[in-house]
Structure 1
């Protein structure tokens, strides 16, 4: 688990990207989003609580140009996520977000005492850093290329035909297997189709296909 956590300021509010949280705690982003949305259901049932005090829904653009959902977590949102975690991961995540939020809060307090000119210079530098980080994240979220798409398709075909032969399935059984593996693939990697897979997940997807079995 990496211990660095990026806290950003947006409209005077300190926030953490759910993708950063997922990466830090070694959890699929799609699974973390589902967990957050289950928390939001509970929060929504209490009139005294505001969901935006914990989680702010947003979108990001993947390398394919498609928009995907993510959440921005406030300090309270991080606390809620951390409270659901146990063991070393929970301890390290708690330590990381508490440290980073405290540092940012201190920086903001010091920032307010600077001259307007110096504040402007710092803002420009921060914007440049944020732009560089967004470019880096965009590169990490680039989709697989045409060759990799073909490799995925061939591996899926190979795996299904292996299982069809092993289990002696007929044409209807083969059709069901193809339907199942594509559905399971979409769920496992939180993508509309295998063609939307991120480059970062390519090797993991190859391994996943090689061990896939239909649910009985």
Structure 2
């Protein structure tokens, strides 16, 4: 148990170094690859594990020992490397202190044993909750992947085409007004100024909006008036 307590998750490391978790996983994979001739050493530094994300999925991660963190820190230079070193040293010192404190608290009665057990469970749950929140925040604020961004663009084009059919044959200018309307709505519901600022947490909300989107009365009027001007 103490060996596990003396580790940091790759999710925590990602938060500490300001990188996406998938990037940290790739970094660790490269380090392990370089340690091909020292597999036993690598497994002592980076322990394969899993965690549960906010949707309940079980996803891979690593548990990094102190030496694993030291090795990972060698990949970074300058202020980031220094900041990470300070962060993980502080965390491991906290864990060491906690383990020592627990070792000193030897219960002498059943009541004390129960109290110690509840105290330990409470502390563990609080730490897990904090880590899960940080992981969730990191995942939700990740920039949309190119694939997800392209999918949103395709759905917008499809929805505009569906609505445009209700106006009969439309010109590019009329179609442009419809695109302007739907894009304005996307930015409004997500609070971004451009679609390139969309984050992973916006993905499903935007898809739902696109499905339900109808142009405003003003936009419909403009599109119809453009027919009269042609």
Q: Are the structure 2 counterparts of residues 138 and 100 from structure 1 closer, same or farther at C-alpha, using a change threshold of 3 Å?
A: closer
Return the alpha-carbon distance in structure 1 between the equivalents of residues 132 and 92 of structure 2.
25
2:60 is equivalent to residue 69 of structure 1: yes
Cα offset, 1:11, TM superposition: 4.7
1:141 is matched with: 136
Question: Contact 2:107/2:116 (CA < 8 Å) preserved in 1?
Answer: no
Q: TM-score, normalised by structure 1?
A: 0.57
| Distance in 2 of aligned mates of 1:38 and 1:154 | 31
Pair member with larger Rg = 2
Contact in 1 for aligned 2:54/2:136 (Cα 8 Å): yes
Q: Does 1:88 align with 2:82?
A: no
- Whole-Å separation in 1 of the counterparts to 2:95 and 2:49: 22
Gaps of at least 5 residues in structure 1 are: 1-8, 145-150, 162-199, 207-216
In structure 2, distance between residues paired with 1:106 and 1:119: 20
Count of residues in correspondence between the two structures = 154
Conservation of the 8 A alpha-carbon contact between 2:5 and 2:95: no
Are residue 157 (structure 1) and residue 154 (structure 2) matched? yes
Distance between the aligned counterparts of 1:111 and 1:137, measured in 2? 22
Alignment of 1:49-68 (within 5 A): 49-68=40-59
Root-mean-square deviation (CA), in Å?
A: 3.7
1:121 deviates by: 3.3
User: Does 2:29 align with 1:37?
Assistant: yes
Unaligned runs of 5+ in 2: 141-147, 159-198, 206-230
